[in-house]
Amino acid sequence: MQIMLSKAVSSSVAEVAEVISDTQLRIRSEFHSETEKCTSLAREKAEEAKSQGIDGLTFKALPFVDQNEMYQHVYQRLREGGCIAIYPEGTCPHWRYISEAQSHCRR
């Protein structure tokens, strides 16, 4: 499972290692967004909230999505000599065009 903090902390995401209680959890690595590591920003915003009498930051729980079934269908189609279409996620409604794929997307 992952958690995502609010936009005030760049919508930072971290993988949950352990749920300690209904108010605490342990994360596996630093909070990060698409462009930066955000753990220090998250700590700063948490301290700011605490000084205002707010205990913690808002977040969303991101459920684990098991992709095994999807990959089984992909491999089966390729074994049968078929093809698959991969659509890029690099879009922005303001730009009206698709961004260049990153190297890890082309492999």
64-88 pLDDT, tens digit each = 777 888 889 989 999 999 988 876 6
User: Is residue 46 pLDDT above 60, yes or no?
Assistant: yes
Global pTM reads 0.46
Structural domain of 55: 1-107
Element housing 48 (H / E)? helix 39-51
Q: Helix/strand/coil (H, E, C) string of 48-90?
A: HHHHCCCCCCCEEEECCCCCHHHHHHHHHHHHCCCCCCCCCCC
The total of structural domains in the chain comes to 1
Which is more confident, 54 or 59?
54
Mean of the pLDDT values across residues 40-48?
Answer: 84
- Contact present, 83 and 77 (Cβ < 8 Å): yes
The DSSP output letter for 7 is G
Which of 20-24, 61-65, 79-83 shows the lowest mean pLDDT across its residues? 61-65
